[in-house]
Structure 1
Amino acid sequence: MTLRVGIISAAWGAFAHLPAWRAIPGVEVTAICTSREETARAAADRLGIARPFHDFRAMCADPDLDIIDCGTRPVLRREMVLAALANGKHVYNASPHAPDWAAAKEIDRAWRASGRVGIVDAFAQWLPAHRQMKALIEDGYLGRPLGGTCRFNISLFNQPSKRFPYNWFAQGGQGVTAVRNNGSHLVYVLLDLFGPVTALVADDTQILHEWVFDDGDRIVPETTDYANVILKFASGLTLPMQISWSMALHDGWAIDVFGERGRLAATSPTFPTARDCILRGGQLGGGMEPIALPDAFRHGPGIALDWDSEPQPSFPMALSMQAMVVAIHGGLAASPNFARALEIERLQEAIRLSSDERRWISLADIV
């Protein structure tokens, strides 16, 4: 049975999600939705998609769609996800999963009641370097994980451009901050590698108080852009995490962890991709060296993309989407699903409370 997908978003959804869906056998993207009739028709014509929508509620209610792919601002996506679930659709949702903790719990209740498959577009765990890192950890390469560090620092607004489509990140109330956006992508991978976080302490602040454009115009952002968090895992591992979208000459992505027997480090100069995220490791008695990534992690069975395909995000997305399709057909549970997304949002609420109240927060107290 062919699964029919409707995508909400003709921007990132068209650029990265569409080629990923089209790479998966047994899936057809048959609808696209934007906020206006003329842009929806233009997008459908440009992308070769049969059915344009300019009302997400109509798309979500359409009986000829099986999956709704939601890819706009978190504060807008809440209603979209709820409408899709209420109409019996499976949902592929962007990250951050929700605008805040209250909305995350509302989505979770609706998802559990629906019985449908819900997956989050936090695809970094599907990158070859991270998959190999997980395989080595499970095989005992580190021994018992003890400590390390992790970061995701980029430079989005130090030299802002008016053509950049995400200048709305400056607006409060949209469900975005550096730690909610960058940080969520990193924490999805950390939980996949090391299991649940039990407690944390955080400082989430704003360091870049103006975004100054070349013509002298400026934006005064209402969102935070620099977070430092100490994460304590149930396993006993403790990791400091630094997140920013305002680092000049940014140092990118890193998960660098050591254990009783060895050390592993996955790094990327910016948002990690299949091609530029590399893995290095070493064990006692040796040094840190590059670790080869298996061909099995550079390709996906039946997927018409691989680790070197453009656009780069589409390959790991396609792996995540393929797992979703298998789950819809009754196969193994896919990941990261909406249950994992709730835990990420719980952690984000703990970061907010810790930073506001200047204290350690137990995640068990976030209900």
Structure 2
Amino acid sequence: MARKLKVGIVSANWGMRAHLPAWHATQEAEVTAVCTSRRETAEAAAREYGIGRPFWDAATMCADPELDIIDVGTRPDLRMPMVLAALAHGKHVFASANFAADLHSARRIRDAARAAGKVCVLDSVFPWQPAHRQVKRMIEAGTTGAPFAVNARLHISHFAAADAGGAGWKWFGVRKHGASAMRNLGTHSLHLLTCLLGPVEEVAAQVKIARPEWRFDDGTVMRPEVEDTAQLLLHFRSGVMGTLALGWSSPGKTGWQMEITCQDMTVMTIDEEGFACGPRLRLLGAAGGKPLASLDLDPDLLEPDGIVFAKPPTIPQVHDIAPAVKQMIRAIRHGESAWPDFEASFHVEAVLDATRRAAASRAWVAVERD
């Protein structure tokens, strides 16, 4: 059996709680290093999660010759130098969504990945959820006929009430950090839509700050600088037309829904509990004017080969992250494709940049191609 690949994670929060169990579930990787910005937090995380080597400087960890993969789980505005350092030292990179703080940073990261020739993947995992993989199989097999329209919605309640999200999420409301409902929820949604339907040609949009105050469980109040609600019109290069509705301050948690209308069949995925999560995601479909009904998923999608959890994950998204990192490992070992790679990630960032400009101009804006 090939040796386990060694992973270093930059993040003591989401990286430890969600990425670490996913890497270990592949049985082909071992997280051997963790990095935070301070020595005391790095050493505390290493003790808590049983990791041998703490770092408090990301550049030092990226240079470590024992590591094969750097998992970068920081804020978008902090990410670029870490990714560039990892690539400069010959590491493969797994990075958190969204891709970068802006299109300029995204281009620099994409170009560095091209030059390095390493496997680079974003953790935008909607395309790896079983129901969505089933939809892709059906479209590629011709079961549905050619798609011609899509309507998708992702509305969560993260900033709707003080107990919906902790005070640690305040950074989401500061524009320079590179987050917003459009950027964060849009990244995940657009990676799926482009995986299924191909690149986006142009976009029109409206965005707004519908909830001008965020209240947190520590009693603090902030006025966010970023939009919490967005509506996109999408024109795909294939001719498919679409809508995408996004929001993270909804008083009612309506969750995820995607409806793709094809020539021979309508398919829908839905998760009413919030951010789309593979174990909860349902697939429905219908043809001949009949009502939508539940569709079965292929067994290999429900139980991906080679993924074994030592204990049930406490965070349900781990079920979706594990197959994503598994296919990254296969790409490293065998030269297979990985999705979403940094080329796909740059395209999604270009769509988001076009969305920003479209909302400001109230006109259709073409998506930058390079």
Q: What amino acid is aligned across from residue 141 of structure 2 in structure 1? A: D
Q: Which residue of 2 aligns with 1:332?
A: 336
Instruction: Look up the match of 1:84.
Output: 86
Residue in structure 2 matching 1:348, options 331, 352, 362? 352
Gaps of 5+ in 1: none
Contact 2:265 2:285 in 1 (8 A): yes
Partner of 2:108: 106
Partner residue, 1:259: 262
**Contiguous gaps of at least 5 residues in structure 2:** none
How far residue 167 of structure 1 moved from its aligned partner, in angstroms, is 2.0
Q: Give the 3 Å change call, closer, same or farther, for CA 279–15 of structure 1 in structure 2.
A: same
Contact 2:167/2:218, CA 8 A, preserved across alignment: no
Distance in 2, Cα, partners of 1:295 & 1:339: 30
The C-alpha deviation readout for 1:28-85, integer Å capped at 9, x for no partner, is: 1110001111111111011010000011010001111110000010001111111111
Alignment correspondent of 2:48: 46
In the other structure, the counterpart of 1:224 is 227
Aligned length: 365
Q: 5 Å matches for 1:161-310?
A: 161=163, 163-213=166-216, 217-269=220-272, 270-305=274-309, 309-310=313-314
- 1-side partners of 2:4 and 2:137: how far apart? 32
Q: Which amino acid aligns with 1:323?
A: Q
CA contact (8 A) 1:199 1:363 kept: yes
8 Å contact kept, 2:264–2:287: yes
Question: How big is the shift at 1:299?
Answer: 1.2
Question: 1:110 Cα deviation (Å)?
Answer: 0.9
Give a deviation string over 1:285-315, Cα, whole Å, max 9, x none. Answer: 4321001112210112111149x85431112
For the residue of structure 2 that corresponds to 1:17, the secondary structure is helix
Is 2:93 the partner of 1:97? no
For residues 309 and 296 of structure 1, the distance between their equivalents in structure 2, rounded to whole angstroms, comes to 20
Please identify, of 89-98 and 157-166, the stretch whose mean Cα deviation from structure 2 is larger: 157-166
The answer to whether the 8 A contact 2:279-2:319 is kept is no
**Cα distance in 2 between the residues matched to 1:212 and 1:314:** 28
Q: For the residues of structure 2 that align with 1:352 and 1:157, how far apart are their CA atoms?
A: 21
Match status 1:157 vs 2:163: no
Secondary structure class of the residue paired with 2:307: coil
Cα gap change, 1:140 to 1:226, in 2 (>3 Å)? same
Determine what percentage of the aligned residue pairs are the same residue. 38
**Does the 8 Å CA contact 2:93/2:121 hold for their aligned counterparts?**
yes
Distance in 2 (alpha carbons) for counterparts of 1:68 and 1:30: 11
Partner of residue 72 from structure 1, selected from 60, 68, 74? 74
Decide whether the 8 Å contact of 1:305 with 1:315 is kept in 2. no
- Shift in CA distance, 339/214, structure 1 to aligned 2, threshold 3 Å: closer
CA distance in 1, matches of 2:289, 2:131: 23
SS at match of 1:200: strand
Partner of 2:362: 358
Q: Which is further off, 244-253 or 173-182?
A: 244-253
Cα separation, partners in 2 of 1:33 and 1:197, compared to 1, 3 Å: same
After superposition, the C-alpha distances for 1:222-272 in whole angstroms (9 at most, x for unaligned) are: 111111100011221111111011111031111111122221010112111
SS in 1 for 2:243: strand
**What TM-score, normalized by structure 1, do the two folds share?**
0.96
